[in-house]
Structure 1
Amino acid sequence: MSYAPAPQVPGQGLPEPVATRLRRPRWRDPRLVTGIVIVALSVALGSWVVATASRTVPVFVADGALTPGTPLTADALRTVDVRLGAGAGRYLPADEALPADLVALRVVDDGELVPLTALGADADVRSVAVPVASGLSDRIRTGAVVDLWFVPEAPVTPEPGAARPEPSTLARDVVVEQVDAEDGAIVVDGTVTLHVLVPADSLPTVLSALSDTGTVTVVPVAGGLR
């Protein structure tokens, strides 16, 4: 008597796969701790950057042009709040007492932040009044940088063959401290009086030329203000 073999069911006799379960991360897992630290540092750094960028500090600006030798007083300054970040230390802070016995060493234009490098204890210049012919360039104003030239007066009856006197430089790169004016118009009997800041070593040359027969001419320097 023969028996037919029993049909085989697919997969019968093979081990059933065991489902793996994900384990919950534990607080002591170093990878979890490292991730939390990185996220916390990123949030803190972002908050610090935003706070620093939006923070303003009070600093002084020039209330009118400051020229070399101008004493640094509260009347010559005004306060503004600006966002400077790390560059705030380069300017005169307005939340501290104003330093005493300081003067401007260079021109600080009206409304310009006052840099600490523009201040010092002494500027070796002297203010000299120079009368010049009217019709000056509009570039010659307070804070402008100019050269002073002397044009000798030509003799009325020059000698035959005599060379015409040549102009000479009196002082270079001097700063205009003030332009005499009234009601916005430059006056003084057809001439203009400029107050220029002459270096002490050029002072004898300039004063000698002003008392000589000739004309002192003011020539603006390319580049404008200092």
Structure 2
Amino acid sequence: MPTLLPGSSASATPHTDARRLHRPRWTHPRAVTGAALVAVCMLLGGLLVTNVAKTTEVWAVSADVRAGEPVRPGDLERVDVRLDPVASGAYLDEPDADSLSERLSGAAWARDLAAGELVPVAAVAGETVVSGVEVPLQVTGTAMPADLGPGHRVDVWVAAEQPSAGTRSEAARRVIDDVAVVAVHGDASAFGEGSVRSVVVLVEDERGEVLPRALAALAGGSATLVRRMGPSA
């Protein structure tokens, strides 16, 4: 027959061990609270990951553009960005190329944008009705910006031909102010800096006062095109 140690009780020991080994029930308040906290943390974590991964598709320019140039849908590309709803409304977000082309029909850039920049709605000027006459100019490669193209705005200056001996040279003067370039024909790199290129500009002269004086000056001198820069161009 087993001998009990002093101070021990045969009847208490089994019940005490049973209480120590008994697992807590899930209905215990602390267990319920812990499970609820874990569920809430998992839910918040999932929402955070979803919001971080959520992107918006907007349009960006794939090459540098200048103020005054016509907006060509081919110069734009769709990019995925993370923007809040308020900020995303400030950029072009047409869903496809067809709707983009419809919106940009006849539009011009209101300011310069660098390649990769998102296109703000404010950077696209609405369609404007322009009237005038197209004037072809013969300009050497060194007398115009090398990257001059349609949509750029220029001032036309004329310098008199090389004066003869004993004749005082005249200062160059501006004969046409702030006109749009319609077309540029010829490649300066193919013919060298001294090559002559044809530049067509659109002259708005409702009163017929500018063009006669400009053509007279161009007949006796050489033209230099000075490009205007900035949003007002």
TM-score by length of 2: 0.54
Deviations 1:26-65 (A, max 9, x none): 3864453233112112113213422x24x7x475868997
Aligned to 1:82: 79
Aligned to 1:3: none
Matched letter for residue 186 of structure 2: A
Aligned to 2:48: 45
- For the residue of structure 1 that corresponds to 2:103, the secondary structure is coil
- For the residue of structure 2 that corresponds to 1:194, the secondary structure is strand
- For the residue of structure 1 that corresponds to 2:138, the secondary structure is strand
Aligned to 1:103: 107
Instruction: Could you tell me which runs of 5 or more consecutive residues in structure 2 were left unpaired when the two chains were aligned.
Output: none
In proportion to residue count, which structure has more helix?
2
- For the residue of structure 1 that corresponds to 2:198, the secondary structure is strand
d(CA) in 1 for partners of 2:142, 2:222: 14
Aligned to 1:153: 160
Q: Please say which of residues 22-31 and 83-92 is displaced more in the overlay.
A: 22-31
Instruction: Could you tell me which runs of 5 or more consecutive residues in structure 1 were left unpaired when the two chains were aligned.
Output: 1-8
Deviations 1:76-99 (A, max 9, x none): 537744323327641252526322
Aligned to 1:140: 147
- For the residue of structure 2 that corresponds to 1:35, the secondary structure is helix
- For the residue of structure 1 that corresponds to 2:136, the secondary structure is strand
Identity %: 16
Alignment CA distance shift 1:27-1:49 (3 Å): farther
Report how many aligned residue pairs link the two structures. Answer: 202
d(CA) in 1 for partners of 2:131, 2:25: 80
Alignment CA distance shift 1:137-1:105 (3 Å): closer
Alignment CA distance shift 1:27-1:40 (3 Å): farther
Question: Retained in 2: the 8 A contact 1:149–1:218?
Answer: yes
Q: Please say which of residues 122-131 and 89-98 is displaced more in the overlay.
A: 122-131
Alignment CA distance shift 1:164-1:31 (3 Å): same
Aligned to 2:170: 165
Question: Retained in 1: the 8 A contact 2:62–2:77?
Answer: no
User: Residues 208-223 of structure 1: matches in 2 within 5 Å?
Assistant: 208-212=213-217, 213-219=220-226
Q: Please say which of residues 37-46 and 121-130 is displaced more in the overlay.
A: 121-130
TM-score by length of 1: 0.55
Aligned to 1:6: none
